[in-house]
Amino acid sequence: MYCGSCLHDNQLAAALIHLGVDTCLIPMYTPIRTDTPDVSLDQVFFGGINVYLQQKSRLAGMLPGFVKRWLDHPAFLRWVTSRTMSTDASQLGDLTLSMLEGTDGRQHLEVAKLCDWLAQSLNPSMIVFSNVLISGCIPAIRQRLNVPILVTLQGDDVFLSGLPDKDQAAAIAQIQKNAQSIDGFITHSEYYRDHMAEYLDLPLEKFRIVPLGVAVEDFRPKRESAAGATSATSHATGAATVGYLAKLVPEKGLHLIIDAAAKLREIPDLANTRLAVAGWSGGDDADYARREIERATKLLGPEGFIHHGEVTRQEKIDFLHAADILSVPSPYKDPKGLYAIEAMASGTPVVLPDHGAFPELIERTGGGKLFAADGIESLVETLAELIRDNQLRTQLGNAGLAAVNEKHSAEVAAKATWNVYRQFLGESKQ
């Protein structure tokens, strides 16, 4: 699947490289999948198959080296992960705990392999992990290399909260233990900093906030004020388009936007409103996505519903340019919302729930409106307001476009992130 964290990490690594920072993006578990040029290393550590086999049987550690290398080969992992696979946290408690235990876990051979490669082949000045769930190897790396180690938090609580209660408590306790070897944590919002500091019982002074960034030049409308022009044209035909662009999972609220679209079409002057849906579906939520797409097709009809499926980068850009409004009514309190920034970079206003990182994002950009997340009525009312008001959509779209260009470009995000890295590099040399 396309993973928001992988998209972010790849974009950030590319932007850091462009700034002249010697950066190596190292995949763990599987090769990354991204809709921009992949700058990651063509090598995978803690290959998902070997990690799983080592969890299920101690004999897996005795496999010949050539077999392990074959199981870790990026091409083989891509083939395996192209099939339907489960990453249901409720079924992975033992594996999660073992990974977090590092040298004391069943994957201790993989820890040693990564430590050796980092020390002998890369010799980095700093290491940044993209989530805390893979922090089990950090104490061993710190002992071997003694360089600053940071962790970027990007939704780790979603997986942790899905673990059985006893495993969740044990995982958090092990993360707190690993955190003693972590110099700092990075988040993309004040909300997520405060939430994760409390959730994991970590000191706030260890946290730094950096902005999300996107390649704004890719999303930029083809002509000035295109957001307003597109919106006015769509509404003039009586067929405004509400777009949903995210994974087709319950956490993102696909079912909620379908319900809202159905209610909008019951309102006489909004009866021609269309819902356009795009995004990856599969894995544990494949049945949910299938049911919701079938429900939308029956409920909204061919004139009221368009399903684009999984989209390429250019198709995503075209989708955002064609939408009058983007709304992903996520019940989950999203820590970043990359899709919202991409929409604003396209000149498309957003309608988002009033929780998670979104209040900060709307206040900082002015690129959309919030709705009360405690019921569907507020979502319907907010969407209706924007559909009826061409001038307001133009105003919000242009404000978001200007703000994202100024505050959320890939270059701005990379410079802010590099400044944080330099703080820790400087401290390590004192």
Q: What pLDDT was estimated at residue 379?
A: 98
Q: What pLDDT was estimated at residue 401?
A: 97
Query: 185-214: per-residue pLDDT in tens?
Result: 999 999 999 999 999 999 999 999 999 999
Q: What pLDDT was estimated at residue 102?
A: 93
Q: What pLDDT was estimated at residue 34?
A: 81
Query: 143-169: per-residue pLDDT in tens?
Result: 999 999 999 999 899 889 889 999 999
> Which token pair is 12?
């950030």
Q: What pLDDT was estimated at residue 65?
A: 77
Please check whether residue 363 is in contact with residue 196, taking contact to mean a CB–CB distance below 8 angstroms: no
- Its CATH class, for the domain covering 216-408, is alpha beta
Same fold, 4-213+411-429 and 216-408: yes
What CATH number is given for 4-213+411-429 in this structure?
Answer: 3.40.50.2000
- Domain locations along the chain: 4-213+411-429, 216-408
Burial class (CB in 10 A: 0-12, 13-18, 19+), 253: buried
Please check whether residue 278 is in contact with residue 319, taking contact to mean a CB–CB distance below 8 angstroms: yes
- Angle, alpha carbons 395-8-124 (nearest 5°): 140
> Which token pair is 278?
């795009």
Mean pLDDT, the chain, whole residue set: 89
How many Å apart are CA 362 and CA 351, to the nearest integer?
9
Assign 3-class secondary structure to the chain.
CCCHHHHHHHHHHHHHHHCCCCCCECCECCCCCCCCCCCECCCCECCHHHHHHHHHCHHHHHCCHHHHHHHCCHHHHHHHHCCCCCCCHHHCHHHHHHHHCHHHCCCHHHHHHHHHHHHHHHCCCCEEECCHHHHHHHHHHHHHHCCCEEEECCCHHHHHHHCCHHHHHHHHHHHHHHHHHCCEEEECCHHHHHHHHHHCCCCHHHEEECCCCECHHHHCCCCCCHHHHHHHHHHHCCCCEEEEECCCCHHHCHHHHHHHHHHHCCCHHHCCCEEEEECCCCHHHHHHHHHHHHHHHHHHHHHHEEEEECCCHHHHHHHHHHCCEEECCCCCCCCCCHHHHHHHHCCCCEEEECCCCHHHHHHHHCCEEEECCCCHHHHHHHHHHHHHCHHHHHHHHHHHHHHHHHHCEHHHHHHHHHHHHHHHHHHHHC
412 closest CA partner among 2, 124, 18, 6: 18
Q: Left (φ > 0), alpha (ψ -120 to 50) or beta: where does 282 sit?
A: left
Residues of the chain scoring pLDDT < 70: 1-2, 70, 82-91, 222-238, 427-430
Please tell me the pTM assigned to this model: 0.87
40 closest CA partner among 22, 26, 60, 30: 26
